[in-house]
A and B are shown apart, each in its own frame.
Chain A
Amino acid sequence: MSIATEDVREDEPPTPTKQTKQQRRAAGIAEQASGGIKMLLVKLLALGLVDALALYAVFVLALHEQWAVLVIVAAVTALVNWIYFSRRKLPAKYLTPGVIFLVVFQVFVLLYTGYIAFTNYGTGHNGSKEQAVSSLMASSLERVEDSPAYGVTVVERAGELGLLVTDPEGDALVGTNEEPLTEASGAEFDGDVAVSADGWNTLQFADVLERTDEVTALAVPASDDPNDGAIRTPDGSTGYLYVSTLEYDEAAGTMTDLTTGTVYSDTGVGAFTADGGEQLLPGWQITVGFDNFVRAVTDTRLAGPLLYVTAWTFAFALISVASTFFLGLFLAIVFNDMRMRGRKIYRVLMILPYAIPSFLSALVWAGMMNESFGFINQVLLGGASIPWLTDPLLAKVSILIVNLWLGFPYMFLVCMGALQSIPDDIQEAAKVDGAKPWAIFRLIKLPLLLVTVAPLLIASFAFNFNNFNTIYMLTDGGPRDSNAPIPVGFTDILITMVYKVAFTGQTRDYGLASAYSIIIFIVVAVISIIAFRRTKSLEELN
């Protein structure tokens, strides 16, 4: 097989750079002539679709003032058009579609993870400082005692609700949650109250009733200064001025609670903080440097879990690879005897665990290993109550057993293939020389087998290092470690810890989760560098 490959390589056409200009032009003309009108139409149609979508995207981005993204989208679209209309750039025509997805959803997100690891992103730190200020002010609004009643009409623009307010002087003003009140153009009045304005649709009474929740949640800022308060309406027809119990001093960057007089200031931790350390949440997102990493390794309540989770991740991956490999190898040797009957039936039945989606198998095992109702305790062990999944040590053993069940068929298939590809004459030669079966296996078959299987063992290690499904479906990382401030358990591996810190529990800490991701990233990178060095597989690429 490898000889055939060599032939292919030699038959390859010479590199395009060696062609003369005429040759290239000739090739281009031939290429065009061969394409056919149908191919051209398909190409034009596909490109037209891409361009139309890109144009739409550019409009939307311009509407939201996302200039940087807009420039990137436009540049990429231009590049795509250039690649497909150019007569050359042949390899690029085949690579571009996949590469775009790869860059956005694999490379970019990995880099973005790196950025998030250096921020305090998470619950209570979701947006910018302006958003935090307005959200704090909005959440502490209270109606001004002697506020005059404003005539109010609920209006709508592009799905967004706004209020058309008539102030006591009789001027019509319009605004939304985000946009403070401004003079409404072309307002029409019904009596004293403005009922419509240019660019806005007036909501009918029935619609107002239907969207009562949205209407009563509206708080239209009276001006750019958040301290001026906001207009809210309890019924959709009359509005009152509400002011916040917090006062924001933009120049000093402080928040003052008017009821208690406490001054909260921006101390650089991403939230308004009082002298006593009390914080007003939500805060905002800031870069915190290596804080997350420092916290992960020095905070004693976090460092402990990180240490045992990392140790267990390595143990889990190594033992899983070793146990599945040795069981698979043993079975391959056992069933590699031509004299044995029914080998095919055994093989099919034994690879069934591998054919079933692993999340289902893990869930079924979790049911069977249930302490008080599970099949294993109740039926196989006659009513024992062994805490298969709830004891820290036993849960690890259970996970390894289940992962052995999930993984041995793969190793069995791989070892079977590798064993059968070892030529028989080597074995016969050894036999003639007087080697015992064990010596033949240990000194001849095993080394040859390992040459084929070693890269697969490395890949299997890398897979198990991030084997989320088995852990999460079986024990959910439990039993829970009650000392840790994050939702982590004794059988969590690094990747399940990342998931739990980021997406479960009361507080989501994206920054810390990303810092853990980066730690996994580094570990995997180091292992793969060593592995690639050892196997020299990258050098063989050509």
Chain B
Amino acid sequence: MAARKVVPGTGVGLAAGEIEEMTDASTRAFSSRGDAPLALPKRPFSFGRWFAATGWRHIVGVVMVVFSLFPIVFVVSSSLNPNGTLTGSNALFSKIGLDSYVRILSDPQVPFSTWFANTMIIAGTTAVCTVFLGALAAYSFSRMRFTGRRFGLISIVVVQMFPQLLAVVAIFLLMSTIGDLFPAIGLNTHLGLIMVYLGGALGVNTYLMYGFFNTVPASIDEAAKIDGAGHARIFFTIILRLVAPILAVVALLSFIASVNEFVVASVLLIDTDKQTLAVGLTKLVSNPRYADWSAFSAGAVMSALPVVALFLFLQKYIVGGLTAGAVK
């Protein structure tokens, strides 16, 4: 929330993963080299002591892993179930087949692949533009001193307290008016939705980047300036390369946020084949009793996979970013 919080928070968070890895490695190395031969013969394995020290922690871990995973196991199992209904999905892994995947990809009533493409296009474009707009603003806040700078920073913090979905009625009316004049960017267009999402670009993301930009020493800029580089060259060729990790984090967080966004997307996108996954899949199972549950599960698994993969891939950086910015 605060500048001080963000700067060390980001750093600490990013470093924390590494520190943890190092300590992990060192303790392991230590115990295998030093401790094991010395300690083991003297102190025979005692279940009680092991349980008091770390054993109970494993019980907590197993309980929590079961709690975390059982909905995921359920949805994977029902996506492999060729039967359609919710009841049929209850016997986990009783039947295995890819019928549901085929069904949801080929059903003309449910344009899943179109929804998927729409979501990727909208979320991807929003993520790239958010990073660009946010980085521009963060650079000026971090490197330049101008009147209204403090006011600008405070507004960014304050505005992020009021999410766009509060104004969904006004957004709908604004976009339908724009659509009457310029159909290409009005209601029921992807471009219009992306533009609305970009209204939130200068928010928490800029704030995160601002903190990270501050950790890049200004002497680098000055050296480049002395060598004859202009502000644009410094920004595009030097600074942006140095802050690449935070750009990745912001892009991913923005991507996930757009994939998850339902309110504005459901109001602005009217035609079925313009809609995103969040809107389409929600309407698909609005009545779970009659819906083709296993086809939905197949769709859910396919929709979640890219996001989960990206998340786990960038996990180390995200943890740092989250500590700093509190998103989701």
Contacts and interface: CB of A to CB of B under 8 A. Distances in A.
Given A361-B71, A367-B86, A355 B218 contact: no
A499 B320 CA distance: 34
Contacts of B118: none
A502 interface: yes
Interface string B293-328: 100110010011001100110010001101101111
B33 to A, nearest CB: 16
B71 A365 contact: yes
Contacts of B162: 106, 110, 521, 524-525
A363 B280 CA distance: 12
Nearest to A103: B199
- Scoring A365, A420, A510 by chain B CB atoms within 10 A of each residue's CB, the highest score goes to A420
A30 B198 CA distance: 34
A540 B2 CA distance: 7
A537 B1 contact: yes
A321 B4 CA distance: 23
B167 A113 contact: yes
A45 B328 CA distance: 38
A366 interface: yes
A278 interface: no
A456 B323 contact: yes
A524 B166 CA distance: 11
Interface string B273-293: 000001001100110110001
Contacts of B9: 452
A90 B140 contact: yes
A1 B300 contact: no
A458 interface: yes
Nearest to A96: B136
B25 to A, nearest CB: 11
Interface residues of B, number: 129
Contact of A420 (B19, B58, B262, B315): B19
Nearest to A338: B27
B150 interface: yes
Looking at chain A's contact residues, the main secondary structure is helix
A263 interface: no
Nearest to B263: A468
Interface in B113-151: 133-134, 136-137, 139-140, 143-146, 149-150
A252 interface: no
A206 interface: no
A462 B214 CA distance: 27
A355 B136 CA distance: 28
B259 interface: yes
A352 B308 contact: yes
Interface of B: 1-5, 7-9, 11-13, 16, 19-20, 23-24, 27, 53-54, 57-58, 60-61, 64-65, 67-69, 71-72, 74-75, 85-87, 89-92, 133-134, 136-137, 139-140, 143-146, 149-150, 152-154, 157-159, 161-174, 180-182, 195-196, 198-202, 206, 214-219, 222, 228-233, 235, 256, 259-260, 262-263, 266-267, 278, 281-282, 285-286, 288-289, 293, 296-297, 300, 303-304, 307-308, 311-312, 315, 319-320, 322-323, 325-328
24 contacts: A30-B228, A64-B181, A90-B231, A97-B133, A98-B206, A107-B159, A109-B199, A112-B167, A112-B173, A334-B57, A337-B53, A342-B58, A354-B311, A368-B71, A373-B86, A405-B67, A466-B166, A502-B172, A510-B169, A535-B1, A535-B2, A537-B157, A538-B2, A540-B3
